[in-house]
C-alpha cells in the first residue's frame, strides 16, 4: 500500500486538564475524502485543527505525505492545506475576486495568473465571474459565500483540503447543491479531503472513508458501507442508525424517488420500483456503494448510491 497522505499517531490534546482528543490514530489514503463523523463535542474540529496546526497537539505525531507536519514553519505547512469553515471567514471589505486571490497573491503569483485562476475557480464553483467577481460578501447568499470560501481554499491548488462543517449553516436545498459540488470537485481534482460533520447523511453521501469518533478517539474507520453494515460497537450502531438511516422510510420509499437519472454504475441493475431497503440490501450483499437502476422493461435509467438512500 502506498503511504497515507495524512497519518496521525497517538495524537492527544487536553484543555484545562481534560482530554478532548486522546491517543487518536488515523491514516487517510491519498485521494480519499475522509469524513470525521461523530456527535458534537467528540473532538472532530480539534483533530482537524491539529492537522493544520491551528491547535498545537500535546503529544503524538502527524505526518503529511510522509513528512513530519509538526516541524516545518507553520506558513509552509498551511500553504499546502486549504481550509474551509462554516462561517467562511471571508474578508468583508474585499471583493469576491480579491478574497479568492488571497493566497496566490501572498505567494507572489504574477497578476495575470492570479486573475486567470480566480476566473477558473468562479466557473468551477458555478458562480458567473461577470456577476460575482466584483461583489462583496454581504451581497451574497449563505450558499454563495460558502462557494467563495471553497474557491478561496482551492486557489493555490493545495494538496489537502480540510473542511469543518462547511455546510451546516445553509438551508437543506443549498446544502444538497454544495455537497454535489464537493463530490464533483473531489472527483475532478483527486485531492485528499478531510471533512468534519455530525450529519450521517452528509457523511454517507460524500465519504470514500468514514472515521467515527467518540470522546476524542476514532472508534471505527472504513468505507461508508462498512460502517452501515458492520458497526464495530453499540455506539456506532446507535449513532448511524438512530440518526438518520430512517429504516422505516427506507422500507416505503422507492429507488425511483432517489435515482440519479442518466448516471451509470457497474453490475446487474436493480428495479426502479424496488424499495430503498432492497437497494441497501443489494449494496451490502454485493459490497458496492452504487447500483445501476432499470425500469420494468429492462431499460437502464440511472444509478443510485448509498448516499442517495438517506438524502
Ligand atoms: P466537535 O468538533 O466534535 O464538536 P471540538 O473538537 O470542537 O468537538 O471540541 C471537543 C471538546 O473540546 C468540547 O468539549 C469543547 O468544548 C472542547 N474545546 C474545544 N476547544 C476548546 C478550547 N479552545 N478551550 C477549551 N475547551 C475547548
- Binding site membership of 2 for ligand 1 (Cβ less than 6 Å): no
Query: Ligand 1 atom closest to Cα of 45?
Result: 2
pLDDT digits (tens, 9 = 90+) for 240-262: 875 555 665 676 688 998 899 98
Q: How far is the CA of 53 from the centre of ligand 1 (A)?
A: 15
Confidence tier at 178 by pLDDT (50, 70, 90): confident
What is the C-alpha separation between 192 and 28, in angstroms, rounded?
Answer: 8
Residues 6+ apart with CB under 8 A from 219: 212, 213, 232, 233, 235, 236
- Binding site membership of 91 for ligand 1 (Cβ less than 6 Å): no
For the sheet with 160-164, list strands across it: 81-85, 160-164, 192-197, 33-37, 209-214, 217-222
Phi-psi region of 157 (alpha: psi -120 to 50; beta: other; left: phi over 0): left
Which residue in 7, 37, 41, 43 sits closest to 25, CA to CA? Answer: 7
pLDDT digits (tens, 9 = 90+) for 66-114: 999 988 888 888 888 988 887 778 899 999 999 999 889 988 999 999 9
Query: Ligand 1 atom closest to Cα of 39?
Result: 3
- Binding site membership of 20 for ligand 1 (Cβ less than 6 Å): yes
Q: Strands, E, within 78-121: which ranges? A: 81-85
pLDDT at 225 over 90: no
pLDDT digits (tens, 9 = 90+) for 7-39: 999 999 999 999 999 999 999 999 999 999 998
Amino acid at each position: 500500500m502506498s503511504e497515507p497522505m495524512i497519518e496521525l499517531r497517538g495524537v492527544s490534546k487536553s484543555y484545562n486538564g481534560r482530554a478532548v482528543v486522546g491517543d487518536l490514530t488515523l491514516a487517510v489514503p491519498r485521494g480519499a475524502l475522509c469524513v470525521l463523523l461523530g456527535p458534537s463535542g467528540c473532538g472532530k474540529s480539534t483533530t482537524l485543527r491539529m492537522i493544520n496546526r491551528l491547535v498545537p497537539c500535546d503529544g503524538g505525531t502527524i505526518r503529511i505525505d510522509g513528512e513530519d507536519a509538526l516541524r516545518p514553519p507553520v506558513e509552509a505547512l498551511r500553504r499546502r492545506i486549504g481550509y474551509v469553515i462554516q462561517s467562511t471567514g471571508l474578508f468583508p471589505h474585499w471583493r469576491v475576486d480579491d478574497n479568492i486571490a488571497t493566497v496566490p497573491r501572498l505567494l507572489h503569483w504574477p497578476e495575470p495568473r492570479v486573475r486567470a485562476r480566480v476566473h477558473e475557480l468562479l466557473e468551477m464553483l458555478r458562480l458567473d465571474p461577470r456577476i460575482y467577481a466584483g461583489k462583496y460578501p454581504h451581497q451574497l447568499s449563505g450558499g454563495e459565500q460558502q462557494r467563495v470560501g471553497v474557491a478561496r481554499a482551492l486557489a493555490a491548488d493545495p494538496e489537502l483540503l480540510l473542511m469543518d462543517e462547511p455546510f451546516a449553516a445553509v438551508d437543506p436545498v443549498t446544502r444538497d447543491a454544495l455537497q454535489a459540488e464537493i463530490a464533483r470537485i473531489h472527483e475532478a481534482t483527486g485531492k485528499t479531503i478531510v471533512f468534519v460533520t455530525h450529519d450521517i447523511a452528509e457523511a454517507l453521501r460524500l465519504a470514500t472513508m468514514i472515521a467515527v469518533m467518540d470522546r476524542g478517539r476514532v472508534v471505527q474507520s472504513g468505507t461508508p458501507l462498512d460502517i452501515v453494515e458492520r458497526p464495530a460497537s453499540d455506539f456506532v450502531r446507535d449513532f448511524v442508525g438512530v440518526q438518520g438511516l430512517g429504516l422505516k422510510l427506507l422500507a416505503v420509499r422507492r429507488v425511483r424517488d432517489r435515482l440519479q437519472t442518466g448516471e451509470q454504475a457497474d453490475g446487474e441493475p436493480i428495479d426502479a420500483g424496488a424499495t430503498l431497503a432492497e437497494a441497501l440490501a443489494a449494496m451490502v450483499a454485493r459490497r458496492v456503494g452504487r447500483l445501476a437502476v432499470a425500469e420494468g422493461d429492462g431499460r437502464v435509467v440511472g444509478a443510485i448510491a448509498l448516499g442517495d438512500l438517506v438524502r
